[in-house]
Amino acid sequence: MVDDEPKLNSINIVSLTPDQWEIYRDIRLNGLLEDPQAFGRSYEEEIAFPQEKWRQRASNSNNFMALENGIPLGTMGAYISDESGNKVANIVGVFVSKEERGKGIGSKLLDAVLDKIKQNQSIKKIKLSVNKDQTLAVKLYEKFGFKITGEETQKMGDKKEHIEYLMELAL
């Protein structure tokens, strides 16, 4: 659940706004540097994005950020696509700073994103892809009921090919 009240250990999950584009950009670029194998784009590609592109991303009401005392710790978002006439939510942009992992931030972000997605009754499925070597992320998604439905090889932000698990959650 997302709200404006301080959380235990002062971590708040907030829906991004266009005015937070710089904070979002900085945490996203940090993620691309820390874990390039987890993203489909590279730091070099995204550092070149203009301000308007960052504002557009931050204006997606399905994008969330974890903050502790105003400091960004992680992000997660979703976009809605249409597959053969069916609405599908796609989880994207998942990142928690290395020093903050293991504190439940990923779970809080995923809770917020799923709560937002479930408000749209026309969405019947949620999809994501995750580098199979990111075992903590895979376990997080499985804890929330996502199932591995396949694999694909993908060139990631580190410019290397990795096997990605394709995962789905039916609503």
Measured between alpha carbons, how far is 27 from 68 in angstroms, rounded to an integer? 13
Domain count, the chain: 1
Select from 13, 135, 130 the least CA-distant residue to 64: 13
Q: For residue 64, which phi and psi values (nearest 5 degrees)?
A: -125, 160
Measured between alpha carbons, how far is 89 from 95 in angstroms, rounded to an integer? 18
CATH of the domain at 99: 3.40.630.30
Q: pTM to 2 decimals?
A: 0.90
**Domain boundaries, position 163:** 8-170
Decide: 20 and 65 in contact? Cβ < 8 Å.
yes
Q: Flag whether 92 is in a domain.
A: yes
Per-residue pLDDT of 113-167, as tens digits, reads 999 999 999 999 999 999 999 999 999 999 999 999 999 999 999 999 999 999 9
- For 149, counting Cβ atoms within 10 Å of its Cβ (0-12 exposed, 13-18 middle, 19+ buried), the class is exposed
Query: Which residues fall within 8 angstroms of residue 153, CB to CB, at 6 or more apart?
Result: 161, 162, 163, 164
Q: Flag whether 2 is in a domain.
A: no
**Structure tokens given for 19:** 């005015």
Select from 93, 54, 97 the least CA-distant residue to 74: 97
Mean of the pLDDT values across residues 99-108? 94
Q: Flag whether 85 is in a domain.
A: yes
Q: Flag whether 50 is in a domain.
A: yes
Question: Is pLDDT at 7 greater than 90 in this prediction?
Answer: no
Q: Flag whether 3 is in a domain.
A: no
Q: Flag whether 59 is in a domain.
A: yes
